[in-house]
Structures are given as C-alpha cells and as structure tokens.
C-alpha cells in the first residue's frame, strides 16, 4: 500500500541526509522524497511516498519524529491536503502524421506540449499521482516508445 | 574569548572534571584552554580507547563522558565507540577536530566527513561552521545526549572555529520543538494498560536498559505487585540480582529459568527494552501472549514485536503510575525457585571462576569485554545497581573492556573496578594498559580469561561445523606483557593455583589475574539445550 507522509523540518544543513539516511538504514521502500522551502525560509517541508504496510508507515512516522530537526510529521490519509505531482513524457515522433497523432491524443488526456524537437515531442502534466499513472499508462499503450520522468508528489496539508 | 576557551569553560560549568583524548594538530588549541578551566585530559593510546573510557564514565553513572579526537584518522577511530554508545543508549559527547572551514571539501590533510560518517551512529551530530553558533551547539549537544532516550552526540570543530572569537552572550539554546515524551499519551492509555495487566495469570516483567534511571521505582512496583522479572543485558542491576523476584538475564545468553519464565508467561510487560535479537531471537516466541510495551522512544514500539498495547513513556513515569494504580498484587509467584550455583561445572572452569570472583569482590563495578567471558559473567555476577555491570551489549564491540574500565576507575575512585576480559578483546586495545600506571589506577583489577582462541566465535564456528579458525593463533606471553606495563600478574591454570591467585588479586598483591582456560568451554549458560530460546 502507498502512504504519503509530510514532515516539517528545520532548514539546517544535512537535514535531507538525515531523512534519506533513515530510509536506507531501516530498509524502507521509498517511491519518492521531495524537499521544498516554505514561506518561512527557516522551515522546509518534505513529502515522502512510501510503499509498505500500515505498521511500517507508523514506524517510519515515529522514526522521523526522532530526528532532531523534524518539527512535525503528518500522514496524508489522516490529514486534509492537496497532493500534486509533475510528469514529463516524451513521445518519439518522426513524421508530421506521428506528431499530429501524439499531440491530439496527449491533449485529449490533458497533457500540455512543452517541447517540440526533431524526433520527439515532450508533454507535461501536473495532477494527482493517480491521474499521472492513468495518463502515462494510456500514452504508453498508444505510443509504446514513450518514456517519462516524474517529480515525486508534493503535498500541502491544510490547516484546520 | 576563543572557541577553545569557551568550550573548556562550558565543560567546567557542566561539572566535567576530566576528558579522554588523543591529541593532534587540529585540536592543539584545546589543551591550554582545558588547563585554564581546571579540566584534566586523560590521553589514551588510541581514540577508540578514549571513547570507550568516556563510555565507562557514563555507564558507571558518573555523569556524561566526554572525549576528544583530532581530525581525520583520529576522528574515524571513534566510529566503533559511537556505534556502541548508540546501540546501548549511552549519553556521551565526542568532540572532533576538523580542518578549517575554508578548506572543508577540498580533501585537505586529515580531512574526513565526520558529519556524514557518524550520522547513522549518533543520536545527533553537529559541524560548527561559525564560532557564533558554538554556544548554542554546546547547549544543544548537552541536552540531546541525555534527554529522552540518551545517546552519543558528536560535535565537529573546525580549527578556525576553535581559534575564533566567540561573541559575548552568544548562547541562545533553541527551544526544542518536540516535547520529550511525557505522560500525556500514557494518561489516555493507562486504564486500558492496567486493565490488561490485571487480567494476567502469569505476568512477567522484562526490564531493559531504559529502566536504569528508574531503579528505585521499578523495585517499588515489583515488590508491591509481587511481579516476577527478567532482564536484558542492559537492564542488569535495575533490580538487584539478589532480589528473589529477579530471575536474571533472559535470551540467547540468558539462564534456563529466566527463559522458561519467558516461554510460559501469559502477559509480558516489557519496559525500556527494544526486543533485540539477543533477547528475543524469534518473535514467534511471543505469539499468543499479551505483550505490553513501554519505552520512552516511540520508534521502538511495534518495531520488532507487535504489542497488544504500547506506550511512549519514560520508565520513571510508568513505574510511578504502576505503583499508584489500583492493582491487587499478583498471586504468590507462579515462578519457580531461582538457581544460582554452577551445578555440574568442573572444579576449574570459567563459570566457576566467575562465581568465585563475584564472591571475592562483592561491591565492585564489573566491566567486561565481549565474548564467552562476557556472557558467563553477565550470569555469574550479582549486580545490585544498574551502574555496576558495564558491558557492550548491542554492538558487542571487542576492545570495549579495558577502555571502559579505565573510565569507570577514574570517575569512580571510591569503588573497586574489576575488568573481566578475554585474550582477544584485550589485544584489541592493548596499549591502554599503559594508562593504568600513568593514572595510578590502584582501584582497577584485571581478570584475563585466556582460552587461547576467540572462544565465542570458535564455538559458533563449531556449531556450523566449520574447521577451526584460530588454531594457529600465536598470542603473546601475557604474564611478561603485564610485567612490561608494570602490572603484577598472578596466573592460574587449575583449581589450586586459582584459589591462591584470586586471593592475591583480592588482597591487592596482584593487579591482574591470568586464567588459563579450556578453549572448549561453552558461552551458553543454560544447562540443557531445551533451556535455550
């Protein structure tokens, strides 16, 4: 099962090493870890997407809370929040016809063309992780040569 | 005031009277500062000896041990001692020299990334890049080492930070964002907790190292509730081994009766322990039992053993609540009588020798190294205080003993300290023998358990049916070696010579006792295989 965990941390040197070191040392299967600044430059927010059981998730929360720079930890499934992720997806397209087909199909799925090169079109999509999964599957089914990269999810927990 | 002076003054204000060190270029400015602050520096023969000595200070309850190592190789030699302190939750502070901030990252002479290297083996670590941050870092380091679940903290000090001017009034300790575990969470759970406990027909308390500072409260609750107890290696002495409710060490290296209690209890109340694989080798053993787990570190709950109810509370909080809870004492102990004698052991063997040693030094602080002697000593020595039996538990770091014993002997000059070591462990930090004369450690006695082999490793090797590893090992002449370090040594190879030699050791005629033992003596204290876990 996939869990999304938010950690609010002090912006101190090495804090990301401490968090990522925890995953390595304790053997967690992490899908993504995204770090970003908040409105307060002294505070960072981390979004972690983890594959594992409920117990594994609870344990990770407790282990994150042990890190000195970690101020608070919350779990997406227990917290009202907005979740978003970005994907870049490239479709090899050598002819005008290929290009037109790719563009039409991608746009029907909500992807936006962001780069047009000689032999490839690159689309982007910002949406929930699940929507990205759906769009990627559809694109790869239609264009087997398509390849993509994802940013990892970021979340904004809503204040009560 | 320079960074070095500020640091020395800080340590003095915290009550530190001695530190353990090995000098080097990046640390040179600290020595005059320590002298000015009236702090003695005890120079070890290697940094690993220094950090084990600092650990000996902390483990013997004499405050927070402090050590210094220079940049690069000096600092990397601390790694084993830090990992050891981390696994056993020992509060200590290691200060390391570092190259100047202007050359960090340039692979300078004796540069090593100590922050990165020690990140997973410290409770927390700091690299101080600016002298102005030093006061805050020092306060933080001191707080973190001993708060909640204690642990080692490393402070990496670039050379220029030690020589930089520290602004007056610079200390502004950050208020911790997180409260240390308090009883807020436990308050909500305690009715359910005590309800489950009250239903137990065969309750058993498992005492871990997290109970060390709550010894009096544990004893009070155990006596009030008539609760039988077993302990982990780190929990040894929390309850007196002379207490009839205390059945001693449980686990792979535990005694048969304690293991039988663990097997047959219906409710296990585990406090301040982490269910290590030495204590509970197979978690299926606890299946069907009601496991109640209390630990100050919430990350220990449900880590290895899924419990019926877990509470993040300190042992002191928990046992105070337990004593006040409206619980009736449990029925007269369902547990059997304790057995103490090394029944069936030959006249001269390690097991018997350790029993005699315990009788000869009833009030000593015992320190062990790692191996067969450690396991047998943990069962033979009867501790009356959690600070009287010092051993490397989680890491099982050979070489621990001599350094730790030196630290304990220096910080507890009022007590006799007896080091029980093996020929393997002793040789790992052999140079530290020189400190015994240098520091005039008359209160330190050494018992060398020499089985001419790395006994525990060879035993495990034999169990796996592999050919011997150490058959061609050529050890030095230990008697001459002790003599070279000006240590008078008595030698025993049979029951008769042992009796004389032990008497010499007890009366101070000898400072070391060299036991010539069989390499075949087992590290398993259980009398029969079925008593093992």
User: Rg for chain A (alpha carbons), in Å?
Assistant: 19
d(CA B222, CA B335): 14
Q: How far is CA B10 from CA A128, B39, B56, B136, B173, in A?
A: 52, 11, 22, 11, 13
Q: How far apart are CA B334 and CA B245, in angstroms?
A: 11
| Residue length of chain A | 160
Strands A2-10 and A43-51 turn out to be antiparallel
Task: Say what the pLDDT of residue B472 is.
Answer: 80
CB B374 within 8 A of CB B391: yes
Residue B276 Cα distances to A140, B24, B209, B299, angstroms: 48, 38, 12, 14
Closest-CA distance of chain B to residue A87, Å? 32
Whether A67 and A119 share a structural domain:
no
**H or E element that contains B120:** none
Which of B119, B297, B301 is closest, CB to CB, to A17? Answer: B119
- At residue B334, the pLDDT reads 78
What pLDDT score was predicted for residue B168?
A: 76
Q: How far apart are CA B344 and CA B342, in angstroms?
A: 6
Residues A93 and A111 in one domain: yes
Query: CA-nearest residue of chain B to A25?
Result: B120
**Cβ–Cβ of A65/B298 closer than 8 Å?**
yes
Residues 6+ apart with CB under 8 A from B333: B226, B228, B245
* Alpha carbons B148 and B295: distance in angstroms, whole number: 10
Per-residue pLDDT at B172: 61
Compare CB distances from B119 to A10, A21, A72 and report the shortest one's residue.
A21
Tell me whether residues B116 and A65 touch, CB distance under 8 A: no
Q: How far apart are CA B34 and CA B4, in angstroms?
A: 8
Give dist(CA B307, CA B305) in Å, integer: 6
B531 pLDDT more than 70 = yes
Residue B196 pLDDT class (50, 70, 90 cuts)? very high
Q: Is the pLDDT of residue B114 over 50?
A: yes
Contacts of residue A19 in chain B, CB cutoff 8 Å?
A: none
Quote the domain boundaries for residue A54: 2-79
Percent with pLDDT over 70 in chain B: 95
Task: Please report the pLDDT score of residue B183 as a whole number.
Answer: 47
**Angle in degrees, CA B349, B355, B361, rounded to 5:** 130
Residues A133, A89 share a domain: yes
Burial of A138 (0-12, 13-18, 19+ CB in 10 A): middle
**B39 has pLDDT over 50:** yes
Q: How far apart are CA B73 and CA B86, in angstroms?
A: 20
φ, ψ at B284 (rounded to 5°): -60, -20
Please state whether beta strands A81-92 and A147-150 pair in parallel, antiparallel, or not at all (unpaired).
antiparallel
Domain covering B184-324 assigned CATH 3.40.50.1220 in the classification: yes
CA closest to A62 among chain B residues = B299
Q: Are B254 and B525 in contact (CB under 8 A)?
A: yes
Residue B308 is classified by DSSP as S
Dist. CA B231–CA B228, nearest whole Å: 10
CATH of B350-531, one of 2.40.30.10, 3.40.50.300, 3.10.20.600, 3.40.50.970: 3.40.50.970
- Rounded to whole angstroms, the Cα distance separating A64 from B297 reads 12
pLDDT over 70, % of chain A: 99
User: What confidence category does residue B525 fall into, taking pLDDT thresholds of 50, 70 and 90?
Assistant: confident
A59 with B302: Cβ contact below 8 A: yes
Q: Which residue has the higher pLDDT, B176 or B416?
A: B416
A55 interfacial to chain B (CB closer than 8 Å): yes
Size of interface A-B (CB pairs under 8 A): 35
User: What is the per-residue pLDDT across A26-61, written as a single tens digit (0 to 9) for each?
Assistant: 889 899 999 999 999 999 999 999 999 998 899 999
Q: Considering only CB atoms, which chain B residues are within 8 Å of A13?
A: 127, 129
- Please compute the mean of the pLDDT values over residues B244-255 and round it to a whole number: 94
Q: Is the same domain home to A112 and A150? A: yes
Of A79, A113, A139, the last residue of a domain is: A79
Q: What is the ipTM of this complex?
A: 0.87
Same domain, A125 and A73: no
Task: DSSP for B168-227, please give it.
Answer: TT---PPPPSSPPP-SHHHHHHHHHHHHHHHT-SSEEEEE-GGGGGGHHHHHHHHHHHT-
Starting at the edge strand found earlier in the chain, the sheet holding B65-69 runs: B40-43, B18-22, B65-69, B92-98, B152-158, B124-127
Question: B297 contacts in A (CB within 8 Å)?
Answer: 66
Contact assignment for A17 to B116 by CB distance below 8 Å:
yes
DSSP element (H, E) containing A7:
strand A2-10
B3-163 matches B184-324 in fold: yes
A26 and A58 both lie in a single domain: yes
Say yes or no: A149 and A112 in one domain: yes
Q: Do B297 and A66 touch (CB under 8 A)?
A: yes
A16 vs A31: CA distance, rounded Å = 16
Q: What is the pLDDT of residues B151-167, one digit of tens each?
A: 999 999 999 999 999 98
- Verify that A6 and A75 share a domain, yes or no: yes
The reply to whether A100 touches chain B by the CB within 8 Å rule is no
Taking the CA of residue B181 and the nearest CA in chain A, the distance in Å comes to 11
- Cβ <8 Å between A62 and B178: no
Residue of A nearest to B148 (CA): A66
Find, among B256, B463, B457, B249, the residue nearest to B344 by Cα.
B256
Q: In chain B, which residues have their Cβ closer than 8 Å to the Cβ of A71?
A: 177-178
Pair B63, B57: CB distance under 8 Å: yes
Q: Identify the domain boundary among A40, A55, A79.
A: A79
State how far the Cα of A83 lies from the Cα of A124, in Å rounded to an integer: 17
> Exposed (0-12), middle (13-18) or buried (19+): which is B461, by Cβ within 10 Å?
middle
Taking the C-alpha atoms of residue A124 and residue A101, their distance in angstroms, rounded to an integer, is 16
Q: How many domains does chain A have?
A: 2
Among all residues of chain A, which has the CA nearest to that of B113? A14
CB-CB contact of B491 with B448 (8 Å): no
Residue B137: predicted pLDDT = 96
Does the pLDDT value for residue B45 go beyond 60? yes
The residues, ordered by sequence, that sit 6+ positions from B462 with a Cβ below 8 Å of its Cβ are: B468
Q: Do A58 and B299 touch (CB under 8 A)?
A: no
Q: Does the distance separating the beta carbons of B144 and A18 come in below 8 Å? A: no
What pLDDT is recorded for position B181? Answer: 46
Q: Provide the CA A104 distance to its chain's centre, in angstroms.
A: 26
pLDDT, position B182: 46
Quick count: other Cβ atoms within 10 Å of Cβ B483? 13
Q: Give dist(CA B271, CA B218) in Å, integer.
A: 10
Answer yes or no: do A86 and A37 share one domain: no
Judging contacts by C-beta atoms under 8 Å, the chain A residues touching residue B120 are: 21, 25
Residues B301-347: pLDDT tens digits? 999 999 999 999 999 999 999 999 999 999 876 777 776 666 677 88
> With an 8 Å Cβ cutoff, are B303 and A65 in contact?
no
Q: Are strands B389-390 and B417-422 parallel, antiparallel or unpaired?
A: unpaired
Closest CA to B49 of B502, B530, B410: B410
Identify the pLDDT of residue B340: 61
The pLDDT score that the predictor gives to residue B336 is 77
Per the CB < 8 A criterion, the answer to whether B513 and B505 are in contact is: yes
- Considering the domain architecture, whether residues A93 and A147 belong to the same structural domain is answered as yes
Find the angle CA(A71)-CA(A75)-CA(A80) to the nearest 5 degrees: 105
Region B453-463 average pLDDT: 88
Domain end point (choices A79, A100, A120): A79
How far apart, in whole angstroms, are the C-alpha atoms of residue B185 and residue B207? 21
Tell me the C-alpha distance between B285 and B378, whole Å. Answer: 23
For residue A62 the two structure tokens come to 């407790």
Task: Give the pLDDT score at B193.
Answer: 92
Assign B423 to helix, strand or coil. Answer: helix
> Does A124 share its domain with A75?
no
Mutate to test the interface with B, among A11, A66, A72 (most CBs of B within 10 A): A66
Q: Which of chain B's residues have a Cβ under 8 Å away from the Cβ of A66? A: 297, 299
Average pLDDT value for residue range A84-110: 96
Contact A46, A154 (CB under 8 A): no
Q: What is the CATH number of domain B3-163?
A: 3.40.50.970
| Beta strands in B235-354, from DSSP E residues, in sequence order | 246-249, 267-271, 290-295, 309-312
What average pLDDT does range B63-86 have in this prediction? 98
The pLDDT score that the predictor gives to residue A158 is 85
The per-residue pLDDT for range B439-452, each reduced to its tens digit, is 999 999 999 999 98
Q: A21 at the B interface (CB within 8 A)?
A: yes
Identify the contact set of chain B against chain A, taking CB-CB distances under 8 A: 115-116, 119-120, 124, 127, 129, 140, 144, 177-178, 297-299, 301-303, 306
A160: pLDDT confidence band, cut at 50, 70 and 90?
Answer: low
Q: Where are the domains of chain B?
A: 3-163, 184-324, 350-531
Question: A53: which chain B residues are within 8 Å (Cβ-Cβ)?
Answer: none
What's the rounded Cα separation, in Å, for the pair B277 and B283? Answer: 9
Report the residue of B116, B146, B158, B298 to disrupt the A interface, i.e. the one with the largest count of A CBs within 10 Å. B298
Residue range B362-383: mean pLDDT, rounded = 96
Please indicate whether, in this complex, the C-beta atoms of B302 and A25 are within 8 angstroms of each other. no
Whether residues A15 and A57 share a domain: the answer is: yes
* Contact at CB, B177 and A25, closer than 8 angstroms: no
Measured between CB atoms, does A110 come within 8 Å of chain B? no
Mean model confidence pLDDT for chain B: 93
What is the torsional sign of CA B128, B129, B132, B136?
negative
Tokens (6 digits) for B433: 């023998």
């Amino acid at each position: 099962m996939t869990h999304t965990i938010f950690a609010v941390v002090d912006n101190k040197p090495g804090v990301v090493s401490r968090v990522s070191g925890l995953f390595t040392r304790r053997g967690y299967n992490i899908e993504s870890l995204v770090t970003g600044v908040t409105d307060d430059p002294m505070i960072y927010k981390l979004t972690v997407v983890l594959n594992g059981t409920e117990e594994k998730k609870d344990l990770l929360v407790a282990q994150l809370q042990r890190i000195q720079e970690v101020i608070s930890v919350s779990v997406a499934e227990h917290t009202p929040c907005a979740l978003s992720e970005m994907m870049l997806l490239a479709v090899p397209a050598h002819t005008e016809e290929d290009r037109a087909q790719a563009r039409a199909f991608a746009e029907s799925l909500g992807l936006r063309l962001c780069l047009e090169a000689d032999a490839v079109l690159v689309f982007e999509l910002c949406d929930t992780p699940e929507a990205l999964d759906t769009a990627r599957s559809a694109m790869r089914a239609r264009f087997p040569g398509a390849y993509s990269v994802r940013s990892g999810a970021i979340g904004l927990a809503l204040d009560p | 005031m320079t960074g070095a002076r500020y640091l020395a003054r800080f340590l003095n204000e915290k009550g530190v009277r001695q530190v353990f060190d090995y000098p080097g270029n990046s640390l040179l400015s600290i020595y005059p500062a320590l002298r000015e602050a009236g702090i003695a520096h005890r120079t070890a023969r290697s940094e690993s000896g220094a950090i084990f000595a600092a650990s000996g200070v902390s483990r013997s309850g004499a405050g927070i041990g402090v050590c210094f190592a220079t940049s690069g190789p000096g600092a990397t030699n601390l790694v084993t001692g830090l990992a050891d302190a981390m696994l056993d939750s020992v509060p200590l502070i290691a200060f390391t020299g570092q190259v100047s901030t202007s050359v960090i990252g340039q692979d300078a002479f004796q540069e090593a990334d100590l922050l990165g290297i020690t990140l997973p083996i410290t409770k927390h670590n700091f690299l101080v890049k600016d002298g102005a941050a030093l006061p805050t870092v020092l306060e933080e380091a001191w707080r973190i080492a001993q708060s909640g679940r204690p642990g080692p903290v490393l402070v990496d000090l670039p050379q220029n930070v030690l020589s930089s001017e520290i602004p007056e009034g610079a200390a502004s300790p950050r208020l911790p964002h997180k409260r240390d575990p308090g009883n807020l969470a436990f308050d909500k759970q305690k009715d359910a907790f005590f309800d489950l406990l009250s239903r137990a027909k065969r309750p058993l308390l498992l005492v871990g190292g997290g109970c060390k500072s709550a010894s009096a409260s544990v004893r009070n609750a155990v006596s009030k509730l008539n609760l039988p107890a077993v302990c982990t290696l780190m929990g040894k002495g929390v309850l007196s081994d002379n207490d009839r409710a205390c059945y001693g060490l449980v686990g792979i290296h535990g005694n048969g009766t304690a293991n039988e209690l663990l097997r047959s209890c219906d409710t296990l109340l585990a406090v301040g322990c982490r269910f290590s694989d030495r204590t509970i080798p197979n978690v299926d053993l606890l299946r069907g039992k009601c496991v109640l787990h209390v630990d100050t570190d919430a990350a220990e709950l449900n880590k290895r053993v899924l419990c019926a109810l877990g509470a993040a509370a300190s042992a002191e909080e928990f046992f105070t609540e337990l004593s006040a809870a409206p619980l009736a004492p449990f029925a007269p102990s369902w547990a059997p009588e304790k057995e103490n004698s090394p029944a069936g052991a030959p006249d001269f063997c390690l097991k018997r020798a350790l029993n005699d040693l315990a009788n000869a030094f009833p009030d000593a602080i015992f320190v062990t190294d790692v191996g067969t002697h450690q396991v047998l000593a943990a069962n033979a020595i009867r501790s009356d205080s959690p600070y009287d039996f010092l051993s490397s538990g989680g890491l099982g770091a050979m070489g621990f003993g001599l350094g730790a014993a030196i630290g304990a002997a220096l910080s507890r000059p009022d007590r006799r300290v007896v080091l029980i070591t093996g020929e393997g462990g002793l040789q790992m930090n052999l140079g530290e023998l020189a400190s015994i004369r240098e520091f005039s450690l008359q209160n330190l006695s050494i018992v060398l358990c020499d089985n001419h082999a790395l006994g525990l490793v060879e035993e495990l090797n034999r169990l796996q049916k592999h050919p011997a590893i150490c058959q061609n090992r050529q050890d030095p002449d230990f008697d001459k070696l002790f003599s070279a370090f000006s240590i008078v040594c008595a030698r025993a190879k049979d029951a008769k010579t042992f009796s004389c030699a032990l008497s010499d050791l007890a009366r101070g005629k000898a400072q070391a006792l060299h036991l010539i033992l069989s390499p075949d003596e087992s590290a398993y204290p259980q009398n029969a295989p079925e008593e093992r876990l």
